[in-house]
Amino acid sequence: MNLEVKHTGNGILTGKGQQYLGEKHQANGKAVTNGRSEDSVKQEANGKGNIPRKILNMYSWQEIQRHNQEANQWLVIDLKVYDVTGWAKRHPGGHQVLNHYAGEDAMDVFRATHLKPDIVRLYLKPLLIGELAPGEPSQERNKNSQLVEDFQELRRTLEAMNMFKANRVFLFLHLAQILILETLAWLMVWHFGNGWLVTIFISFLLVISQGQSSFLQHDTGHLSMFTKSKWNHLMQKFLLSHLKGLSTKWWNYQHFQHHVKPNIYPKDPDINVGPLFLVGDLQPVKYGKKKIKYIDYEKQHLYFYMVGIPLLIPVYFNMKSMQLMYFQRYWDDIAWVSSFYICYFITLGPFYGIFRTMLLIYVVKFLESPWMTYVTQMSHIPMKMSTEENRDWFSTQVLATCNVKQSFFNDWFTGHLNFQIEHHLFPTMPCHNYHKVAPLVRSLCAKHGLPYVSKPMLEAFGDIVQALKKSAALWRDAYYKTGNRSSALTHM
């Protein structure tokens, strides 16, 4: 059926009633809700307003799944079909995350990644092109509908328990820890001078400050600390750009892709680490069969110690961050990152000079790098990696992540990312609540026969190396088996 609404094929609706909910669309495409209260906006976004509902096109899953290319992207959210093709490049979380879900049901990922979904639905209104046809299931037929319903019920339960409400005291103490360490480092140099012992001591103070800044900016990047997105974004810029010298846009675009499709090749950029490392079961075999040998991959676990661990932050992160800021002309990020270096030159420059201040900055990053590398890789590298299997949100996250046992030290050392499963299922949940919801998540895993992996921290560290060795063995078998077969054919 196609009555009052016509679709132009570029993500825009035409026809009668083009403006929805009394919105005024500005030149930049943003919606203004005419100054009405948030409650009325939520009512209208939920379809509870007085505006009559329009009759829309009806689509089957077979038709929707055809629109899964970058130049043709449809999504299903709450039984409604949206064409996001023309709008994808303006998506605040990056266009890649929309492309990763093109042709799929995106209800759970939409709910998981947005702080106020009812408000976000206002921006989706002009992109609405239809609904699921009667008789079509609410998600793709290959997905476990009971598991999807159970997970959505779990989320409603956690919302009722206020598990998505942040503890401001926790935020204050975490931020105070960082600022006290930064200030103490400067006071030590100011009072005792720039001798070797003082420099070594303040380096470790700054390493701890930088590591904890990484964890807190991660929380604010997921909008989990404040009820308003703009305050989360501002705090993230302060923590990541001003205190650490990295671009928030680079971090968010990279990190959000990882979150929506963890350990799925090639959609998760965190596992697309070739040609230096080969991870999982698929990449090593692919390289081996194609006779690709940029390095001796049988020794990649040793390269991990020599290259991966020490250089992740001072080289890879900084290079990628600066590259994106420069080529995309992200002037606000450039200004914030510049303030990081200016602050160091003002506070420590008089004691060390410009060259030694820069050297100190990168020594701190070098020392921080092993800490962050182990914490970020221990929960994913040893877990299942695959190409797209179009699993439901719950299964996708649980199969690609594992936890580390809880203790006061483990919570502090990992920024509560030892509860990686809970974090991936509920990214906007404040990290101090992960341990409270873990038993409920474990119970749901048990009900549906899914593994809930939790291990001691040292075992998790060791599993990174074991996973790299396993991948190297797969590459070796494919590489030399292909070579032996080719050799045998030439002698026939």
Q: What does the pLDDT average to over 187-214?
A: 97
pLDDT in tens, 310-321: 999 999 999 999
pLDDT in tens, 341-394: 999 999 999 999 999 999 999 999 999 999 999 999 999 999 999 999 999 999
Packing angle, helices 331-347 and 248-260, rounded to 10:
120
- Is 80 exceeded by the pLDDT of residue 489? no
Cα separation, 309 vs 372, whole angstroms = 9
Give the pair of three-digit tokens for residue 162: 């206020």
Residue with tokens 């990168």: 362
* pLDDT band at 398; cut points 50, 70, 90: very high
User: Each residue of 298-333: b (16+ CB within 10 Å) or e?
Assistant: eebbebbeebbbbbbbbebbbebbbebbeeeebeeb
Q: What phi and psi values does residue 184 have, to the nearest 5 degrees?
A: -60, -40
Cα separation, 439 vs 435, whole angstroms = 8
Beta strand segments in 104-168, E = 104-105, 128-132
- Is 90 exceeded by the pLDDT of residue 12? no
First to last CA, the chain: 65
Summarize the chain as % helix, strand, coil (round to 5): 60, 10, 35
Cα 253 to Cα 31, 49, 93, 158, distances in angstroms: 23, 35, 6, 27
Antiparallel, parallel or unpaired: β 128-132 and 80-83:
antiparallel
Antiparallel, parallel or unpaired: β 57-59 and 128-132:
parallel
2-11, 14-23, 52-61, 262-271: which range is least confident on average? 14-23
Count the neighbouring beta carbons within 10 Å of the beta carbon of residue 393: 24
Closest CA to 54 of 14, 94, 92: 14
Cα 85 to Cα 82, 120, 138, 139, distances in angstroms: 9, 17, 22, 21
Instruction: Tell me what pLDDT residue 422 has.
Output: 98
What amino acid occupies position 370?
P
Cα separation, 27 vs 89, whole angstroms = 16
Instruction: Tell me what pLDDT residue 335 has.
Output: 97
Cα separation, 83 vs 288, whole angstroms = 40
* pLDDT band at 483; cut points 50, 70, 90: low
The burial of 128, by beta-carbon neighbours within 10 Å (0-12 exposed, 13-18 middle, 19 or more buried), is given as: buried
Count the neighbouring beta carbons within 10 Å of the beta carbon of residue 107: 20
- Is 50 exceeded by the pLDDT of residue 17? no
- Is 50 exceeded by the pLDDT of residue 35? no
Instruction: Tell me what pLDDT residue 292 has.
Output: 92
338 Cβ contact list (under 8 Å, min separation 6): none
* Matching CATH number, 57-141, of 3.40.50.300, 2.30.30.90, 3.10.120.10, 3.90.1150.10: 3.10.120.10
What amino acid occupies position 393?
W
pLDDT in tens, 223-277: 999 999 999 999 999 999 999 999 999 999 999 999 999 999 999 999 988 888 9
Instruction: Tell me what pLDDT residue 275 has.
Output: 86
- Is 60 exceeded by the pLDDT of residue 52? no
- Contact in structure between 38 and 47 (CB atoms under 8 Å): no
Instruction: Tell me what pLDDT residue 333 has.
Output: 96
Packing angle, helices 434-447 and 145-160, rounded to 10:
160
476 Cβ contact list (under 8 Å, min separation 6): 288, 297, 298
Looking at every residue in the chain, the average pLDDT score rounds to 88
Q: Is 266 helix (H, G, I), strand (E, B) or coil?
A: coil
CA 413-416-422 angle, 5° bins? 150
Cα separation, 387 vs 1, whole angstroms = 36
Instruction: Tell me what pLDDT residue 14 has.
Output: 36
- Contact in structure between 84 and 75 (CB atoms under 8 Å): yes
The burial of 438, by beta-carbon neighbours within 10 Å (0-12 exposed, 13-18 middle, 19 or more buried), is given as: middle
Residues in the chain: 492
Q: What does the pLDDT average to over 323-334?
A: 95
Instruction: Tell me what pLDDT residue 53 has.
Output: 55
pTM: 0.86
Count the neighbouring beta carbons within 10 Å of the beta carbon of residue 282: 17
H or E element that contains 404: strand 403-404
- Contact in structure between 372 and 316 (CB atoms under 8 Å): no
- Is 90 exceeded by the pLDDT of residue 184? yes
Q: What does the pLDDT average to over 75-101?
A: 93
Antiparallel, parallel or unpaired: β 31-32 and 72-77:
unpaired
Instruction: Tell me what pLDDT residue 481 has.
Output: 82
- Is 90 exceeded by the pLDDT of residue 1? no
- Is 70 exceeded by the pLDDT of residue 37? no
- Is 50 exceeded by the pLDDT of residue 119? yes
Q: How far is CA 401 from the centre of its chain?
A: 13
Instruction: Tell me what pLDDT residue 458 has.
Output: 97
Cα separation, 363 vs 371, whole angstroms = 14
Which residues belong to CATH 3.10.120.10 in the chain?
57-141
